[in-house]
Amino acid sequence: CTHTQGNTDESELTALGRAQAVRARAALSDIPFDSCFSSPHTRARQTTEVVWPLWQQQQQQEEEGTGLE
């Protein structure tokens, strides 16, 4: 099998996965979110970055202890 998924950090988000994340972002666009949590695994992080673009800003602010305003 050439697919690596699950409890490893070896797999990247595929083109299909990105397309699905874009559709998820559109479906969730009218729902206000204060924060977003994601697994640190690559595919989960990449999906989160597409679905919730403010995720990277949230991560940086949490590290700095400033939070989102």
- Tell me the whole-structure pTM to 2 decimals: 0.66
Task: Report residue 61 as tokens.
Answer: 């602010």
pLDDT value of position 62: 76
Other CB atoms within 10 A of residue 22 CB: 12
Backbone φ and ψ of 53, nearest 5°: -55, -25
Query: How many Å apart are CA 16 and CA 47, to the nearest integer?
Result: 11
| pLDDT for res 34 | 79
Q: How far is 47 from 15, CA to CA, in rounded Å?
A: 11
pLDDT of 9-62, one tens digit each?
778 999 999 999 999 999 988 888 777 888 989 999 999 989 888 666 777 777
The region that residue 31 occupies, defined by phi over 0 for left and psi between -120 and 50 for alpha, beta otherwise, is beta
